[in-house]
Amino acid sequence: MPMIQVTMLEGRSVEQKRKLAQRLTDVMVEEAGAKREAIAVAFVEVSRESYATGGVLMADKK
């Protein structure tokens, strides 16, 4: 059972997450031969204060 976890900043709409789930699932079916019904996608949303790149919190970036 493939599990795809997407960690991203909060704020995406339900429709955006719906499309992402569909497309990520499609790729796993097409490229990895996974069964569609066995693929799980989890979205982990984090605040700008809890996410950093390059050692800098996203909240501190312009």
Instruction: List the catalytic residues.
Output: 2
Angle at 13 between CA 8 and CA 15, to 5 degrees: 115
Phi, psi of 55 (to 5 degrees): 80, 10
Give the tokens for residue 32: 């990895």
